[in-house]
Structure 1
Amino acid sequence: MSAEPFVVGGGDAAGLSAASKFARADTDRDVVVFERGRWVSYAHCGTPYFVKGEVEKLTDMLSLSPEAAAERGIDLRREHEVVAVDTDERVVTVEGPDGTFDQPYGDLLVATGARALRDPIDGIDLDGAFTLHGLDDAAAIRSFLTDPDEASVADLGGGGFVDEARAARFGAMEPPESVAIVGGGFVGVEMAEAFTAHGLDVHLFQRSGHVLKSFGDAVGERVEEHLEAHGVTLHLGASVERLRGDDADRVEAVVCEGDELAVDAAMVGIGLRPNADLVADAVDLGETGAIAVDDYGRTSAERVYAAGDCAEIDHVVTGEPTWNTLGLPANRAGRAIGQTVAGDPEPIGTVADTSVVKAFDLECGRAGVTDPDEARDAGFDPVSETITAGSRSGYYPGSAETTVTLVADRDTGRLLGGTIVGADRAAVRIDTVATALAAELTVAEVERLDLGYAPPFSPVWDPILTAAKVLRGSL
């Protein structure tokens, strides 16, 4: 094996997981991680709760500090961006504070993540308009929501990493009284809760007929009712065209299908795009636009790997490549690649697209293939059933209505996916569905699972089992 170092482009979930695993397994080779920003190994998913105020400090969301990385033997270089890759010469070009230089590699991991979509919305660069993809975004938004007399960069707990100038600039502005959220996915729903906690008049615009579209209608309808009960005004089936600014270039209105609504802030959460441009000419990209990889995270270029939000990963139900931007698959794939590069090959695994999200007091979960058209495109004949059951024994305090939808293949009876929504520990129940999908269980086999029962935790027939029983009858 070459003595050249294992080089990683990107210092978040996949990148530092790979570097950490490699450093522990192969002490004879160096591992160098280049991260273009200041922040490394942080919890993207915690940012709405930092904005809300439930998470006190930005540094509370760090998984691995630069100091801890150094103790593990990782040569971590922040504010260094890989700007070019030569797969023939096995060299990356890096731009850093002291200039541009070339770094040879023995093996390379591309872990450059993803970026928030901005292009479709005109006016996204106005003051008071934000996307949320990183801790500096979260710091700027929370500063903007704080009264100028109380705003303090020190209170953000940035640990020297935060973009202080940006946070201070927004902290000096008068906080908004109303906000338009563009997009009713994860970020939109979570930020509706965060903005409401700050007393804003919240308007949520969703282009399709329901929020949380990937969770299905049953979940969407309950979440919509819950959002409205907490004062969020919904604009469903509404396509936002642009944000309009005032003379000071601050958001003044949202323009939707020719109509205007006056607001003084906007949050755009319409999706992500993989950061695959760096190697687009050097490796194969998949149909999703992310980097195509094999079962071990290897790209089409020799000794070049990819993982995390910039790479594809196979779906456990369809067997086809998909694009998943959640933390667990990224960490798992990075760890596996670190082990593989160290000489002990480990597959990166598959995903069921298992997702959970909270909308105020309501918990939602999904796993697998739940959209009928997607199931048919994958060669299945989908059948689905939706049930509502109690979360605990009816006589035990705290029971709440829990709605479960399960989808199966008519011909084989195989479970394809499921969704769940409820106010009492509903989200964690989706793990039963995810496990069943990984095991390729039939609905009948799911119905026969021996799930735990006691009145404080579940009825005799857990809602997942009840849904399986009803769906099996339809099959």
Structure 2
Amino acid sequence: MSDPFVVVGADAAGLSAASKFRREAPDREVVVFEKGRWISYAYCGMPYFIEGRVERMSNLLSLSPSEVEERGIDLRRDHEVIAVDSDTKTVAVETAEGETIEQGYDDLLVATGGRAETGSFNVRGLDGAFTLHDMNAAAAIDAYIAEPDAYDPARADVSAVDRERVDRNAAMPAPETAAIVGGGYVGVEMAEALSGRGLDVHLFQRSGHLLPPFGEAVGERVADELEAEGVAVHRGTPVKSLVGDDRIEGVALDGAADSVAADLAIVGVGIRPNTELLDGTGVETGEGGAIRTDEYGRTSLPDVYAAGDCATAVHAVTGEEAWMPLGLTANRAGRAVGATIAGDPSPVGEIAGTAVVKAFDMEAGRAGLVEEETAREAGFDPVRETVTAGSRSGYYPGAAPTDVTLVADRDTGRLIGGSIVGPDRAAIRIDTLATALEADMTVPEVERLDLAYAPPFSPVWDPILVAAKVLNGTLDEE
């Protein structure tokens, strides 16, 4: 048998590629290397597990190792690919026993994902301080929050879990106050989760509003919702350092003499792509240090592809390279790469950065270029309008104010971005904007969309149509 299709990484992009390839090319071999024990898990579901909405860690698994193997995929966990030689078309793999083996490939996919960025914060070695970017961290946080005599070890019901780490955290006194560093996705979702577990929560955001990629209108309403639910939101408040010797005691703030006491800290200041295994290969990298890929996921190395959180993609609005590590992006790109390598060339697709998030009863969504500065940097002359409209007919129960921000290019009238926030099914409306961005629609074209109307679902003029009408008027005045 010829050298196989080799995949590095057994999560969203990697297993999507391997599964698609196996279906399309059943006579060819596919080998997947995973450096750890966890595979195919729902990263985005971890805050809801910690909150208790998800009862068992196993509920977050998409595929088990046995299900992967039933598909005819040679899955090798505890095997870390440490180097790639594109000249000999081999990878060096380190096993759990410390042995190094060599594996040849016909085609190689790097789907190594990303890892939590910690910046200047010393998280390692400080009990009660965590980042949240893997299942072992989620299990440890869940155990740490619980009272020692009340922790249920069955919640971490997957054999891959780091049981020693979980047991160690479960034995510690339960925290009362949490400090969250960073007001992005992780920060906002964890503020709700920890509040739901009964902790007093402080959320610190360096900039003036939460969720910066969503725009100011979203950030303000999300902050108001968090504060209404008892979360102390500190905007424009950079954290200087974590305080504590063996266990977290608080956070020190820039320009403040006293620290804020806390016996739990979550650092959520971003992620970085895992690309070290390609060091020395000469592979081209792009935005964020991610691996540069073309429309089919190909890198600058022959027969080497990349997909998921470690790879770039093309932005649907700018047409330029972008790095936006999101779940659908990884799954879709992996599936496309698998099809391409099996003989059916399939583009990985463009990305618009479409994302949604919730904070208690407040929902938010964004797509495209929302911040004016970002739009200008991309070469556009942005015009932006924010409107507030009802989510349903005003007389129908449940109608709630929905803020819609639309951004257009002054010269062409093209829609280039938007955000939505509100408590009544606001987030899902972002899919309309994402579709309009993919189609390069102008604001007048968005205004003429035939969106559905019935009192339980929407007013006659959907909030998106209202926003488009207002923005179109602004463009006409220019």
Normalization by structure 1: what TM-score? 0.98
Secondary structure at the residue paired with 1:387? strand
Q: Does 1:211 align with 2:210?
A: yes
Secondary structure at the residue paired with 1:309? coil
CA distance in 2, matches of 1:454, 1:261: 49
> 1:467, CA displacement in angstroms?
0.2
Superimposed CA distance per residue, residues 40-73 of structure 1 (whole angstroms, 9 cap, x where no aligned partner): 0110000000000000111111111111111111
Corresponding letter in the other structure for 1:256: L
3-12 or 371-380, which deviates more: 371-380
After superposition, the Cα gap between the structure-2 partners of 1:434 and 1:395, relative to the gap in structure 1 and judged at 3 Å, is same
Superimposed CA distance per residue, residues 6-47 of structure 1 (whole angstroms, 9 cap, x where no aligned partner): 000000000000000000011221000000111101100000
Residues 34-113 of structure 1 correspond to what in structure 2 (within 5 A)?
34-98=33-97, 99-113=99-113
Corresponding letter in the other structure for 2:267: V
176-185 or 56-65, which deviates more: 56-65
> 1:81, CA displacement in angstroms?
0.6
CA distance in 1, matches of 2:361, 2:262: 26
Displaced runs of 4 or more, over 6 A: none
Corresponding letter in the other structure for 2:432: T
> 1:124, CA displacement in angstroms?
4.9
CA distance in 1, matches of 2:112, 2:379: 33
Instruction: Determine if contact 1:385/1:471 at 8 Å carries over to the other structure.
Output: yes
Secondary structure at the residue paired with 1:395? coil
Residues 126-141 of structure 1 correspond to what in structure 2 (within 5 A)?
126-141=126-141
Give the corresponding residue for 1:184.
Answer: 183
Secondary structure at the residue paired with 1:451? coil
Give the corresponding residue for 2:423.
Answer: 423
Q: Does 1:253 align with 2:266?
A: no
What fraction of aligned residue pairs are identical, expressed as a percent? 63
Instruction: Determine if contact 1:284/1:292 at 8 Å carries over to the other structure.
Output: yes
Give the corresponding residue for 1:30.
Answer: 29
Secondary structure at the residue paired with 1:188? helix
Give the corresponding residue for 2:269.
Answer: 270
CA distance in 1, matches of 2:351, 2:298: 17
Number of aligned residue pairs:
471
Residues 448-459 of structure 1 correspond to what in structure 2 (within 5 A)?
448-459=448-459
Corresponding letter in the other structure for 1:377: E
CA distance in 2, matches of 1:287, 1:460: 42
Residues 224-243 of structure 1 correspond to what in structure 2 (within 5 A)?
224-243=223-242
> 1:125, CA displacement in angstroms?
3.3
Corresponding letter in the other structure for 2:6: V
Corresponding letter in the other structure for 1:212: L
Corresponding letter in the other structure for 1:29: R
Give the corresponding residue for 2:376.
Answer: 376
Instruction: Determine if contact 1:115/1:133 at 8 Å carries over to the other structure.
Output: yes
> 1:122, CA displacement in angstroms?
3.2
> 1:278, CA displacement in angstroms?
1.3
Instruction: Determine if contact 1:123/1:242 at 8 Å carries over to the other structure.
Output: no
Q: Does 1:322 align with 2:322?
A: yes
> 1:123, CA displacement in angstroms?
4.9
Instruction: Determine if contact 1:9/1:15 at 8 Å carries over to the other structure.
Output: yes
Corresponding letter in the other structure for 1:255: A
Q: Does 1:167 align with 2:162?
A: no
CA distance in 1, matches of 2:194, 2:221: 20
> Gaps spanning 5+ residues in structure 2: where?
none
CA distance in 2, matches of 1:65, 1:354: 29
Superimposed CA distance per residue, residues 393-426 of structure 1 (whole angstroms, 9 cap, x where no aligned partner): 0000000100000000111110000000000000
CA distance in 2, matches of 1:271, 1:119: 9
Q: CA RMSD in A?
A: 1.0
CA distance in 1, matches of 2:184, 2:285: 26
Corresponding letter in the other structure for 2:196: A
Instruction: Determine if contact 1:124/1:243 at 8 Å carries over to the other structure.
Output: no
CA distance in 1, matches of 2:335, 2:149: 45
